[in-house]
């Protein structure tokens, strides 16, 4: 028999300061198109930034025009599921870290399986906040 735990995974566990972890809802499947759109925007923005370097354009100005909208889109997407107490800190993340977080919230991983200590993982209805 094949097992497909992703069919029922609805949360992921994110480690935070102090060794604690929080259970965060995954992004809904309907957000996949938005996520893919942001990835495409990022690719285009990187290309524009590279072109600007070759033309001796003001890199900071170009960065602000092409990369900050991508960052803001990632923050907005992640904010839809991130607990309110953590949302403001998303602005501190750089684009690669935000993309990693958004991907994790979109696709998850195997943390929906029970931990070795026998406690339920994030996708099985774990408590909102747990200590590790």
What does the pLDDT look like over 53-77, one tens digit per residue? Answer: 777 667 888 888 999 999 999 999 9
Q: Give pLDDT tens digits for 10-48.
A: 999 999 888 899 999 999 999 999 999 999 999 999 998
The reported pTM is 0.78
Edge-to-edge strand order for the sheet containing 129-131? 11-15, 20-25, 129-131
Whole-number Å distance between alpha carbons of 61 and 16? 33
Of 5, 27, 19, residue with least CA distance to 101: 27
Vertex 6, ends 83 and 77: CA angle to 5°? 35
Whole-number Å distance between alpha carbons of 12 and 10? 7
Whole-number Å distance between alpha carbons of 79 and 101? 11
DSSP classification of residue 82: S
Whole-number Å distance between alpha carbons of 48 and 45? 5
């Amino acid at each position: 028999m094949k097992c497909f735990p992703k069919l029922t995974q609805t949360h992921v566990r994110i480690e935070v300061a102090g060794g604690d972890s929080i259970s965060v809802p995954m992004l809904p499947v309907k957000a996949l198109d938005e996520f893919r759109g942001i990835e495409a925007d990022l690719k285009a923005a990187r290309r524009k930034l590279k072109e600007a370097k070759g033309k001796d354009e003001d890199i900071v100005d170009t960065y602000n025009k092409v990369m900050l909208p991508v960052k803001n889109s990632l923050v907005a997407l992640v904010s839809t599921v991130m607990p309110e107490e953590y949302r403001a800190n998303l602005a501190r993340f750089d684009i690669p870290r935000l993309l990693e977080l958004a991907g994790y919230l979109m696709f998850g991983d195997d943390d929906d399986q029970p931990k070795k200590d026998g406690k339920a993982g994030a996708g099985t209805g774990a408590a909102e906040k747990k200590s590790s």
